[in-house]
Every structure is written in structure tokens, then in C-alpha cells.
Amino acid sequence: MPPPTTPPDLTTLKSLRNQIIGSPSSKLLLLRSQPQLLPSLLPLLSPSASATPALRLEAAHVLGSLCRSGDCLSYILSAGTCEVLLSALSSSLPIDADPDASPPPTAPPALLRALAKSLSSLVDLMCTALHGTQFGIGPPSYRGRARSALALETLLTLPALDSFLPLLSPSPATAAAGTSIASLISHLRTQEETAPVLAWLPERERVSAAKGKRGWEKKEEGGWVVGRLCTMLKGGEEKAQIASLHALSTLLFTTPTLTPTFGRFHAPVAQRIFDLSRARSPAVRVAACFALTALLCHRPARPSSLTLGLGALGSLGGMGSLGGIGGMGKGQAGGDGETPPPSGLLLNVLATLQGVVEDEREEGELRAEGCWCLSLLVMDDRPRAVHASHTGLLRTLCTLLRSFPSIDPLSPSSLDDLWEEPLPLLHLREACMTALASLTLPDAGLRSQLAEQKPSVLPIIHASLSHPAPGVRHAACQVVRALSRSVAILRSSLVDEGVAVSVLGLVVREGRVKEEDGLEGFGIEGEGDGDDLAEGDGDELMRGEGEEEDGREEGEKEPRKVKGDRRVLLAALAALCNFSADFSPVQHLLPEQDALPVLVRFATSPSDALLRMNGIWVLKNLVYRADWNLKKGVMDLMGWARFVELCRDEDLRVREQALSMVRNLAASRDADVAQTVRAMGAGEIVALVEEAMATENDDVMMNALFVVVNTLPELYKSSPPPILHQSPAFLKALLACLSSPAQPLRVAAIRVVHALLQSSLGKQNLREAGIERRVREMEGLRWKSGLTGAGRKSMGGLGEADGGEVESSLEVREIVRKVTAYFEDA
Amino acid sequence: MDYLVIEGYKEAAENFSRESGLQPPVELDTIEERTLIRNAICRGDIDEAINRTNELNPEVLDSNPRLFFHLQQQRLIEYIRAGDIEGAITFAQTHLAPRGTENPEFLRELERTMTLLAFDNPPEDIAPLLGMGQRQKTANELNAAILASQNQGKEAKLAGLMRMLTWGEAMLDERCEYPHVDLTTGLLGGEVAKAEDAAPEG
């Protein structure tokens, strides 16, 4: 087809539409071969003398189809499509109309729907480019991020919101478009993105709000958009229900303060969502469960406020006697405390989702959605995880895992089958294992139950580490990471199964791609943000161990090679952390299998902070209690100068791990301490500590304080000796740490005080800095008994350590006692 | 109404709507469109079916890669059926191979279809691809997708009710005796007998 020089006519547009629908490659080819297409197409979207409604509709259809392909995103955004769509929608709405009064739009409903759908699809692409896919790791997408961020910023400005949010109005003429706008809202991910939507008001209401109110008018809680989404739920249209349920769950997940309004103003809507979780359509049931999960996850923490704030939810049909969503109280933190009884709402969501996941006749994508929702529900919440297991979730997920086609990493035909697995099956594999990881991570008992399943699922999880799909490998790493948190499981089941070797192999293979070749995965910092309309697709391949390119017989099929993926690499490194710890019987594998150079390369990666953090975490664990030869081997590879740079890394997570590694290097033996101090330099260590204390980050400060504890006697042997104990900034930070609500930080701080006094350093300085007084406060229970609850809080949270933590720890009490003795010693 | 809409009886649905005063769940014109699309596939005119589907709702094929692949596969089969080997190969290269690249799950099915080119009398396992049953299968899949896009079920609720009735009767048969429903007349077993008794002998 020749490139159009004039605006395309209706026949051309229809032909284009039929050419690209269903074919992402045709879409990309079209935009590449016809750079003038979008500039000539976009003006047709807005009303003009030459653009008939039919022409506008067809142009919107063509654009809508293009907006479904992530490969086209850069082309679409660089043509200014977002702005044109907003303008086209704006000009289709009546001027100065009140959306609540069901105004007649100036454009036909089909055109409005097509424009709104295009905008929604475009926002989906932009949010995916910015944040990755909503569930699962998805295909790597790091192209178009910068342009997407800019376009999204524009989209969330008031004038832009004015052009599409009114379509949520209850008018029948805009109903279909409203569904697309609800979908658009569901694509947003962060509170920064949803806040402008929540705060938006129709122009007329903005004017009256600006004039001021008398105070007695009925106020719609949650905002206008939430109100309209709730209204959409009341209708019987399934697609509208699904879209508004997903939009509501997005708003609830990103804005926890919205939850209480569903116990008050929107209580009938909460009941409606509950009813929809029992709807005939499984897609509606799952969407309702997402919204209910958001309510469950963001219920207010205090039981007293729950009774008040979510009382109405507590009386929902079928769950009133069980306390509604307010059933969760203590024990939530994941301790070993007694698990409170489950709420009726929780049991309802669990039963609904398990029903969908177990139903083999259901579509794979929907079952996967059910798994993702379950994963969100139990993530980082021990009581909910335990309840879910009691209702059979662990069994359900293990049964599902066993139902997947088997994986034999050593069989070429099996691998061929895996390459050709349908996407829904891949998504279901990934979702199922991620849900298993979320379920077992918070509770050791659940981890044991998973490890002891009969027939065992460990071989399936192990084999999944070799699956060609990155999402499946990633999810398998997550399960291994969760299981390896239990020392007993790590030392028995995982080692027996040979998982450690596979994880290590995965780390080495995934990381074999040179950084400049471009690791797959999004979020790589630095060069190549990917907004260029580059032709190459960067599909460098990762060659597996033993795979030789040469020597293949002529005509023999070239084996498909698994691509490296940064996200899998990060997950594998996280799993490897536990295998590299001193309690791991396979710790020796790391140096034996030549993994150290690779790990050091990750730890010093200049462009990827997450890779640096995970790499150094593994090495930190490896050198803990290791002999000096191993420590020296690691440091020779890394270089002390580069290591010091890591201790100053601008990313505080990296800095925390690097300082923790200093602790581990300067531990175990006096000689190790001396070697470390000599290699780094006493002055450098002191400077690092002072810089760390200035960050005011609890984890960084705690590790820095332990560096002082470990190195202190040696530190002051240098010439000239450092004057850390005289540094007012350090002493001030130390005092603050002694009053910190974080127990580990208080422990670190008191040990520093002890170490200083033990070395006869700075007693006077500590006194003058108020540290002696603070230590005496910590000494006994008399302070606590003399304070009310409010008084304890003013002590920086120490009061919350009642009955445990610092004061109840014999070791700490002993240190406090010794410190006091040192102060009293003349 | 649900049965008439889903099964594509537009005229009957119109009359039923008029006489009963029931509002049809979809625009009745779309029933005719769906019938035309189904007929196009059944006579092997896949291009026509795709164009009509895109006209009806452009999202149906754009959001369903498997369905789109099956339609393209059917087009390839029609080329092969017509003996246009060159056309078949060109079509497979330009339209089907990219689908395989985008979704490797389609590769095996594509290879299986391409095997048809190698045989004058295809072996039993691939011969059904050239049969009318394959066209019917593709037509049913597209019909179901269009119905889903219109918030309609894949099959009429009546069919589900009939299955449930049959299942319920089979369960009851194991426990007690009772008058069965005669599905051909819609009457209970006893009523059928009475009706037969009452009928005048000729």
C-alpha cells in the first residue's frame, strides 16, 4: 500500500483496519513503513468539516487496534496521540455540562466508545512500560518509559481529566465509553497516579466547592469517581461490572484511606461487591474478589477503629457473626502468637477464588487471575496465610501444580513442548507458584507442609527452574526462596533435591549475558532508556552450559536457547542468599563452581542498583564466619577501593549490604579484623560510619554501628587514632539510636557505647552527649513502671518493647548493666 | 428469547419480542450479522467473515489471538482445498508464520496444517482439517467470541436447563419412580399417557 499523502478515506481506513487487527507484527510494520500514517490519521479523530462520523469512527478503530501493541507505543506517543485523543474526547463532550445530569454527548456513542477504548488501551501500554505488567513479570518492556511518564503526567492534569472522566456519568449514551474509562482507571498503579483521579470533581461541583459550603450538606465520601464506579456496579451489564470492580480495587489498593468509606458511606456498595463475588459469571466473581481483597488488605489496623469504621461491612450477609473484615487484630505481624479466627469475608473470598482455580473447565487466564488475587490476599500476612491453608489453599495449589504437563530438563522433546506451551498455561504456572511462595513465605509451618506434600511437589518446582519461560523460572525461584528460609528444609529437602545446584547454575547462566548486550527485563538504569525507535529488538541469547554452536550436523534443527532475564536473575540471587549462608551445607559450591567472579560482577554492576544489592547480599552471607582465605579471595576479585565505593553507594539498600559485609569481614578472628581495618583504612571506616549515620536510615545506621563494634579495638590502633568518640554528629546520632523504636538499632547502639567504654574511650563525651542518662533510663523497669502509655511513646517507641525486645533480652540487659558500671567506675 | 438470540433466529426473536413485550438483550440486527458471519465461514469465505467481524466489533479478533489464528488457519485450508499451492505457501509465510513467532503454541498446529500440502490423500489424523466439520468448528468458535463480546453466553440457557433436567431425572431414577418429562412434547409421562388415551381412535 503506498504511503498516504492525503488523509486516508473510509475505504483505505477499513482496509488498514482489516490488515492490522489480530496481527501485532503488521501493526509495527505499518508504522515503520508509513511514518506519515499517524500524522494523517490523528486529525480525523477530532470533529471537522472533512471528518464525517463514519470516518472518525474508522480512524478511532485503526488507532484503537494500534494501541493494543506494546511494540507500537513509541511511535504512538511520539506522534502526540495521547493529546489528540484527549482533545477528541473533550470536543465530543457538551460544554459546561453537568455529568450527573446525563448530558447528551455531541458524538455518537460508538465513536465515544472507540475513542475511550483507544485511550484506555494506550494508558495500559504506558503503565506497562512504566511499571511492568500488572501480574507476573510479563514480557520485558523497557522501551518508551520516558515518553510514557511524560504522557501519563499530562493525562493526569485537570484539563485532561476533564476530557474523559465525565464519561463515567450514568447517561446511557456514554455507558460503553464509561466502561472503557473504568478500565483506564484500573490500569493505574501508584497512589501518585490515582490521587488526581480520586480528587477530581465535575466543573460545576468544583465551582460550588470553591464558593464554600455551609457544612450540613450531604458529602459524598471517596470522591465523585468512586461514586460513579459504585453506580456502575448496580447495573446488570457484566463488562461494566468487571471494569468498575477492577477500577475500585486499584483505587483501594493504592489508597488505603479509602477503605473506611466502604464501611460507612459506601457500605451498600460493599454489600453489592460481596454479592457479586457470588455472581454467575466467574470473571465477575474474580473481579469482586480483587475488590474485597483490597478491602481486607487495607482494613484499619486497630480493632477499635474497625468496629467504628467498618461496622457496616461487619454486618454483611453471611459474615456478620464472624466480625466482617475487622476480624484481624493481634498476631498480624507474623509472630508466633495465636492466630485470630478468620472473618466471614475472608472465608468467602478464599472459597470463591479456590473454586475458580480448581475448576479445570475454566479458562487458564481467569484461573491465573484467581491465583494472583490469592497471592495478594496472603502476601506478608501470616494469619491470612494460615487461614487460607486451613481452607485447603495449599492443597489446591499443589494439586494444580501437579496437573501441569511435566518438565524434563534433560529431554529435548520435553523442552520443545515447553517452548510451545500456550500463554494461558504459562501464566497459570507462574501464578500458581507465585501464590505458593506468597502463602508459605510468612509461616514456617506452611513451608514445612509444602516441603512434606505427598506426592512431593519439590521436583516440579525444581524442574520449573529450567523452564524456557522467564515468568515460570522467576516464580520457581520465589518458591525456592520462600522454602529456603527454613534452615531445616534448606539442609534436607532442598539439598536432597539438588535445588541449590540448579539455582546457582541459573545465576551463572542468567548472568552470562554481557551487560552491554542488554539483559532482558525492564528497569535497567542508565543508557538506552529505549525511547528510540530502534529497529533491533535486543534479543541476545544466553547460551546454556555445554551448548555448542559448532559441530551441529547439517540440517539438524538449531536448539532454541533460553534468553537471560534480569528479573529471573534477581530472584535467583535472592534465593541464593540463603544457600550461601553459613548454615547451608552447599555453601562451598559457590567458590567451587566458579561463581565468585560472576557474583562480584553483579555486586559491582555500575548501572543496576538491584543487581548490586542482591550480588553483595550473597557475598556478604558467604564471608560470614568464613576463613580469611575465602574472604581474601572475594575481596581480591572485587578490589577494596571498589568495595569502599559500595559502602558509599547512593542507593541505601546497597550501602546497607556493603556495610553489613564489612561487619562480616571484620568478624570471627582478631586477625580478620586487623586485616580488614588495614585494607580499608581506619580513617576510611570512620568516615563511612559518619556518613552512614547521617543518612538517618535505620538499616544503614545499624550496620554502621556494628562495624564500629566489630572494628573498635583495632580501629584506634592506627596512627593518628580516629576521633569518632568525639564527633558531636556521631554522638547525637548514637543517642537518637538508643531511643529508636527499632529494637535492632537500639541493640547496635548500646553495644557501641559498651565497646567505646570497654576501650576506655569517650566516657566524658558520652556523658556530655546525654548518652549516660539515656542508658540509665534503659537499665531497669523502674522507668517503664513510672510511665503511662503515652509517656512511653514519647520515648521513641521503647514502650512498645514492653514484655520483650531490648529490656527483656538478657544479653542486652547485661550490656546495659556493664555500661552503667563503666559509667559509675571512677 | 435467550435461545432465539443465541441460536440466531432473528425473525422469530423479533416476533417473540413484539408479542411478549420482552426487550431483547442485544440489538437484533447483530443476530443477522452473526448469521452472515457464520455462513461465510461455512462456505469457506474467511475474508468475508473477518471483515464482517471487524465491522461488528474490532475488538473481537484483536483480543483473541487463538481465534484469529484459527481463522487464518482456515484460510490456509481453503487455499489448499482449492489446490492453490503457491497461494497457500505465500499466505502461510506472510500471515501465519508471524502468528507462530508471536505465539509459539501455534507452531505445531501450523505445521500440521502445512502437512496437508504434502498429500493428495491426507492421512487420517490430518484429513479432518479439510472436512466441513473444521469449518463448523471455526464458525462456532467465532460465534462464541462474538456472543461473549455482547455479554451473551456461549450456549442458550435452555440447553443447560435440559441437561440439568436429564441429569436430575437420572439421579432420581436410582431412588424412586415418578412421571418423567417427555422432552418431545413437554408433558409429564402420565399426561402423555392420558393424552394418548383420550385421543380418538381412527
Q: Model's pTM, two decimal places?
A: 0.83
CA distance A475 to A461: 9
pLDDT at A370: 97
Q: Contact at 8 Å (CB) between A328 and A299?
A: yes
For residue A28, the chain B residue with the least C-alpha distance is B98
Segment A3-16 mean pLDDT:
81
Residue bearing the bigger pLDDT, B193 or A624: A624
CB contact under 8 A, B58 and A21: yes
- Among chain A residues, CA nearest to B99: A23
**Is residue A549 over pLDDT 70?**
no
Chain-centre distance for alpha carbon A77? 26
| Contact criterion met (CB < 8 Å) for B108 and A420 | yes
Which residue type sits at A90? Answer: S
Cell of A551: 559441530
> B134-140: long-range contacts at Cβ-Cβ below 8 A with a sequence spacing of 24 or more?
B134/B74, B134/B77, B135/B41, B135/B42, B135/B44, B135/B74, B136/B42, B138/B41, B138/B70, B138/B71, B138/B73, B138/B74, B139/B37, B139/B38, B139/B41, B139/B42, B139/B49
Which residue do the cell numbers 466467574 mark?
A282
Query: Which band of pLDDT confidence, cut at 50, 70 and 90, is reported for residue A141?
Result: low
Q: Binning pLDDT at 50, 70 and 90, where does residue A741 land? A: confident
Amino acid found at A168: L
- Among A557-561, A767-771, A816-820, B74-78, the least confident range: A557-561
Measured CA to CA in angstroms, residue A569 lies from A507, A509, A541, A813 at distances of 6, 9, 15, 43
| Residue A181 confidence (pLDDT) above 70 | yes
Using DSSP's 3-state secondary structure scheme, residue A117 falls into helix
pLDDT band at A322 (very low <50, low <70, confident <90, very high): very low
Rounded Cα distance, A686 and A772, in Å: 22
SS3 for A537?
coil
Question: Is A646 part of a structural domain of the chain?
Answer: yes
What is the per-residue pLDDT for A118? 96
Residue pointed to by grid coordinates 547521617? A694
Entry field: residues in chain A: 826
Q: Which of A136, A133, A230 is nearest to A182 (CA)?
A: A230
pLDDT of residue A797: 36
**CB-closest option in B58, B103, B107 to A65:** B58
State which of A181-185, A359-363, B158-162 shows the largest mean pLDDT.
A181-185
**Cβ neighbour number for residue A216 with a 10 Å cutoff:** 6
Domain boundaries, position A808: 729-826
Domain count, chain A: 4
How far are the Cα atoms of A634, B7, B10, B156 from residue B13, in angstroms, in the given order?
Answer: 79, 10, 5, 13
pLDDT reported for residue A211: 63
* Residues of chain B with C-beta less than 8 angstroms from the C-beta of A68: 62-63
**Confidence label for A300 from pLDDT (cuts 50, 70 and 90):** low
First to last CA, chain B: 38
Are A709 and A746 part of one and the same domain?
Answer: no
Out of A18, A22, A420, whose CB is closest to B65?
A: A22
Shortest CA distance from A27: residue in chain B: B62
Ranking A15-29, A92-106, A666-680, B176-190 by mean pLDDT, the lowest is A92-106
Q: Answer whether residue A291 is part of any domain.
A: yes
Enumerate residues 6+ apart whose C-beta is below 8 A from B30.
Answer: B56, B146, B150
Nearest one of A177, A37, A19, A12 to A111, comparing CA atoms: A177
pLDDT band at A489 (very low <50, low <70, confident <90, very high): very high
Per-domain boundaries in chain B = 2-149, 163-198
Strand-pairing partners, residue B189, are none
Does A793 lie in the same domain as A740? Answer: yes
Give the number of other Cβ atoms within 10 Å of residue A162's Cβ.
17
Q: What secondary structure does DSSP assign to A420-431, as a single string?
A: T--HHHHHHHHH
For residues B24 and B5, what is the distance between their CA atoms, to the nearest angstrom? 8
Q: Measure CB to CB from residue B54 to each of A17, A117, A238 and give the nearest one.
A: A17
The mean pLDDT of A260-265, rounded to a whole number, is 80
Evaluate whether A460 touches A454 at the Cβ level (below 8 Å).
no
pLDDT digits (tens, 9 = 90+) for A264-286: 777 888 899 999 999 989 999 99
pLDDT above 80 for A565: yes
Spatial CA neighbour of B3 closest among B160, B189, B200: B160
Based on the domain organization, do A127 and A81 belong to the same domain? yes
- Share of residues in chain A with pLDDT > 90 (%): 53
Q: Is A422 on the interface with B (CB under 8 A)?
A: yes
- CATH number for the domain harbouring residue A115: 1.25.10
CB A463 within 8 A of CB A408: yes
B64: chain A residues, CB-CB within 8 Å = 22
**A817 within domain boundaries:** yes
Please state, in angstroms and rounded to a whole number, the distance separating the CA atoms of residues A560 and A418: 11
Instruction: Check CB contact of B62 with chain A, cutoff 8 Å.
Output: yes
Please give the pLDDT value at position A332. 38
Which residues of chain A does B104 touch, with a Cβ-Cβ cutoff of 8 Å? 419-421
Task: Pick the residue of B62, B67, B73 with the most A CBs within 10 A to test the interface with A by mutation.
Answer: B62
A269 within domain boundaries: yes
Query: What residues are paired with A565 via a beta bridge?
Result: A520
The stretch A634-656 carries a mean pLDDT of 94
Q: CA A264 to CA A244: how far, in whole Å?
A: 19
Q: What is the pLDDT of residues A701-710, one digit of tens each?
A: 999 999 999 9
CATH number at residue A616: 1.25.10.10
Q: Is A420 on the interface with B (CB under 8 A)?
A: yes
Mean pLDDT score of chain A, rounded to an integer? Answer: 82
In degrees, to the nearest 5, what angle opens at C-alpha B165 toward C-alphas B159 and B169? 150
Are A670 and A774 within one domain?
Answer: no
Q: Indicate whether A821 and A680 sit together in one domain.
A: no
Bigger pLDDT: A724 or A6?
Answer: A724
| Beta carbons of B61 and A239 less than 8 Å apart | no
* Model confidence band, residue A155 (pLDDT cutoffs 50, 70, 90): very high
Compute the average pLDDT of residues A41-70: 90
Segment A24-33 shows an average pLDDT of 94
Let me know whether A12 and A139 are in one domain: yes
Q: Is-contact A536 A625, C-beta < 8 A?
A: no
User: H or E segment at A664?
Assistant: helix A652-665
Chain A residue numbers with beta carbons less than 8 Å from the beta carbon of B51 are 14, 18
How does A265-303 read in b/e, with b if 16+ C-beta sit within 10 Å?
bbbebbbbbbebbebebbbbbbbbbbbbbbbbbbbbeee
Same domain, A201 and A100: yes
Inter-chain contact B62–A17, Cβ cutoff 8 Å? no
Q: Are residues A756 and A718 in the same domain?
A: no
Check whether residue A681 and residue A737 sit in a common domain. no
Buried residues in B32-65 as b, exposed as e (16+ CB within 10 A)? ebbeebbebbeebbbeebbbbbbebbbbbbbbbb
- In terms of CA atoms, which chain B residue is nearest residue A59? B58
B99–A21 C-beta distance less than 8 A: no
3-state secondary structure of A104: coil
**For residue A32, how far is the Cα from the chain centroid?**
34
**Residue A719: pLDDT band by 50, 70, 90 thresholds?**
confident
For chains A and B, CB pairs below 8 A equal 51
- Option in B58, B104, B105 nearest A64 (CB): B58
Same domain, A687 and A768: no
Q: How confident is the model at residue A734 (pLDDT cuts 50, 70, 90)?
A: very high
Identify the three-state secondary structure at position B78: helix
SS3 B187: strand
Q: What is the pLDDT of residue B88?
A: 93
Instruction: Report how far apart the first and last C-alpha atoms of chain A are (Å, whole number).
Output: 96
Whether residue A237 lies within 8 A of chain B, CB to CB, comes out as yes
Q: What is the pLDDT along chain B (202 residues), one digit of tens a residue?
A: 888 888 878 888 889 888 888 887 777 888 889 999 999 999 999 999 999 999 999 999 999 999 999 999 999 999 999 989 999 999 999 999 988 888 888 988 999 999 998 888 888 888 889 999 999 999 999 999 998 888 877 778 888 888 888 888 888 888 888 888 887 777 776 665 565 666 554 4
Q: Does A441 have pLDDT greater than 90? A: yes
**Which residues on adjacent β-strands are paired with residue A329?**
A331
The alpha carbons of chain A give a radius of gyration, in whole angstroms, of 30
DSSP letter for A331, please: B
Query: For chain B, how are helix, strand and coil distributed in percent, rounded to 5?
Result: 70, 0, 25
Q: What is the pLDDT of residue A245?
A: 97
Residue A295 CB partners (closer than 8 Å, separation 6+): A252, A259, A262, A270, A273, A313, A325, A345
Determine, for residues A68 and B58 on separate chains, whether the beta-carbon distance falls below 8 Å: no
Q: Is A520 helix (H, G, I), strand (E, B) or coil?
A: strand
Would A672 be classed as within a structural domain?
yes
* Burial of residue A88, with CB atoms counted within 10 A of its CB: 0-12 exposed, 13-18 middle, 19 or more buried: buried
Looking at the fold, whether A687 and A816 belong to one and the same domain comes out as: no
Chain A residues close to B66, C-beta within 8 Å: 422
Backbone angles phi, psi at A520, to 5 degrees: -65, 165
Determine whether the interchain pair A22/B103 forms a contact, defined as Cβ–Cβ distance below 8 Å: no
Contact check, Cβ <8 Å, A25/B102: yes
Residues of chain A with pLDDT > 70, as a percent, come to 80
Lowest-confidence segment of A36-45, A502-511, A548-557, B6-15 by average pLDDT = A548-557
B window 143-202, beta carbon within 8 A of A: 151
Assess whether pLDDT exceeds 90 at residue A643: yes
> Do residues B85 and B69 touch, judged by C-beta distance below 8 A?
no
| Model pLDDT for residues A75-133, shown as the tens digit of each residue | 999 999 999 999 999 988 765 445 555 555 667 888 999 999 999 999 999 999 999 89
The region of weakest confidence among A119-133, A291-305, A778-792 is A778-792
With 90 as the cut, is the pLDDT of residue A358 above it? yes
Residues in chain B within 8 Å Cβ distance of A14: 51, 55
What's the length of chain B?
202
Say whether B99 and A23 touch across the interface (CB within 8 A).
yes
Q: Which of A205, A236, A263 is the last residue before a domain boundary? A: A205
Position A197 pLDDT exceeds 90: yes
The average pLDDT across A127-140 equals 89
> Could you tell me if A267 and A228 are in contact, meaning their C-beta atoms sit under 8 angstroms apart?
no
> Which range, of A486-490, A550-554, B134-138, averages the lowest pLDDT?
A550-554
Specify whether A134 is located in the same domain as A270. no
| Interface with chain B: mutation pick from A13, A17, A23, highest number of B CBs within 10 Å | A23
Q: Does A515 touch chain B (CB under 8 A)?
A: no
pLDDT value of position B163: 87
Residues from chain B contacting residue A26 (CB–CB below 8 Å) = 98
Is the pLDDT confidence value at A632 over 60?
Answer: yes
ipTM for this model: 0.82
| pLDDT of the residue at B161 | 87
The helix/strand/coil state of A329 is strand
| Residue among B51, B62, B151 minimizing CB distance to A239 | B151
- Chain B CB contacts of A421 below 8 Å: 104-105
Higher pLDDT: A484 or A668? It is A484
